[in-house]
Amino acid sequence: MHGFLSYLNAHFHALRLEFWGLFIGGIGSGIIYAMVAIGYTMVYGVLRLINFAHSEIFMTGAFAGYFTLNYLIGSSSPTGFSSILLIIVGILAGGITGSFFAVVLERVAYRPLRIRKAPKIAYLISAIGASYFLLNLAAKEFGRIGRGIAQPYQNHTVFTIFGAPVEMYNIIIFVAAGIMLIIVDRLVSKTKLGRSIRSVAQDSETASLMGVDIDRTIAMTFVIGGFLGGAAGFLYALNVGVLYSMGFTPALKAFTAAVLGGIGNLRGAVIGGLILGVTESFTVVFFSGAYTDVVAFAILVLVLMFRPTGILGELIGRSA
Partner 1 sequence: MNLPFIKKLSTKALIILISSELAAVVTGPPGNGDTPWVGFHDSITQKASFFGLFVTGRWALFYAIGIISYLAVHFFKKLNSNNSAMDSLRSQYSSVAKNKYFKLAAVLVIGVLAILLPTVITDPFWREAMVSQIAVFVLLALGLNVVVGFAGLLDLGFVAFYAVGAYATAWCTGALPMPPIFGSHVNPFFAIPIAIILAMVAGVILGIPTLRLRGDYLAIVTLGFGEIITLFANNLTGITGGAQGTEQVPHFSLHIGPLKYIWGLDPVPYYYLVIGFVILFIFIFYSLEHSRVGRAWTAIREDEVAAESLGINPLKYKVMAFAIGAASAGFAGVMTAAQSNFLTPATFTLALSINILVLVIFGGMGSIFGVVFGAIVIQTITMYLIHTPPAGYQPPDLYIYIGALLVIMMIFRPGGLFPARRRQRADVATSSLENSND
| Residue 319 to residues 223, 268, 300, 312, Cα–Cα distance (Å) | 20, 8, 21, 9
* Smaller CB separation from partner 1, 23 or 52: 52
Using an 8 Å Cβ cutoff, are 78 and 88 in contact? no
Residue type at 188? V
Q: Binding segment for partner 1 among 47-55, 94-102, 278-286, 312-320 (CB under 8 A)? A: 47-55
Q: Which listed residue (293, 311, 313, 320) binds partner 1 by CB under 8 A?
A: 293
Contact between 117 and partner 1 by CB under 8 A: the answer reads yes
Burial of 193-218, coded b for 16+ CB within 10 Å and e otherwise, reads bbbbbbbbbeebeebeeeebebeebb
Contact between 59 and partner 1 by CB under 8 A: the answer reads no
Contact between 148 and partner 1 by CB under 8 A: the answer reads no
Residue type at 102? A
Q: Which listed residue (240, 304, 307, 318) binds partner 1 by CB under 8 A?
A: 304
Strands 157-161 and 164-167, how do they pair? antiparallel
C-beta atoms surrounding 47 within 10 Å: 20
Closest CA to 230 of 108, 135, 100: 100
Contact between 294 and partner 1 by CB under 8 A: the answer reads yes
Using an 8 Å Cβ cutoff, are 57 and 98 in contact? yes
Using an 8 Å Cβ cutoff, are 161 and 184 in contact? no
Q: Which listed residue (14, 96, 139, 212) binds partner 1 by CB under 8 A?
A: 139
* Smaller CB separation from partner 1, 189 or 202: 202
Using an 8 Å Cβ cutoff, are 154 and 172 in contact? no
Q: Binding segment for partner 1 among 14-22, 141-149, 186-194, 209-217 (CB under 8 A)? A: 141-149
Contact between 37 and partner 1 by CB under 8 A: the answer reads no
> CA 167, 172, 174: angle at the middle one, nearest 5?
95
Taking the alpha carbons of 67, 73, 78, 84 in that order, is the dihedral positive or negative?
Answer: negative
Q: Which listed residue (85, 108, 158, 210) binds partner 1 by CB under 8 A?
A: 108
Contact between 305 and partner 1 by CB under 8 A: the answer reads yes
* Smaller CB separation from partner 1, 13 or 48: 48
Least distance to partner 1, CB of residue 146, Å: 9
C-beta atoms surrounding 114 within 10 Å: 16
* Smaller CB separation from partner 1, 27 or 258: 258
Site residues for partner 1, window 183-212 (CB under 8 A)? none
Contact between 145 and partner 1 by CB under 8 A: the answer reads yes
- For residue 274, give every residue at least 6 positions away whose Cβ sits within 8 Å of its Cβ, in sequence order, or none: 26, 27, 30, 31, 33, 34
Contact between 307 and partner 1 by CB under 8 A: the answer reads no
Least distance to partner 1, CB of residue 231, Å: 19
Contact between 240 and partner 1 by CB under 8 A: the answer reads no
**Residues near partner 1 (CB under 8 A):** 48-50, 52, 63, 67, 108-109, 112-113, 116-126, 128-137, 139-145, 147, 242, 248, 252, 255, 259, 288, 290-291, 293-294, 297, 300-301, 304-305, 308
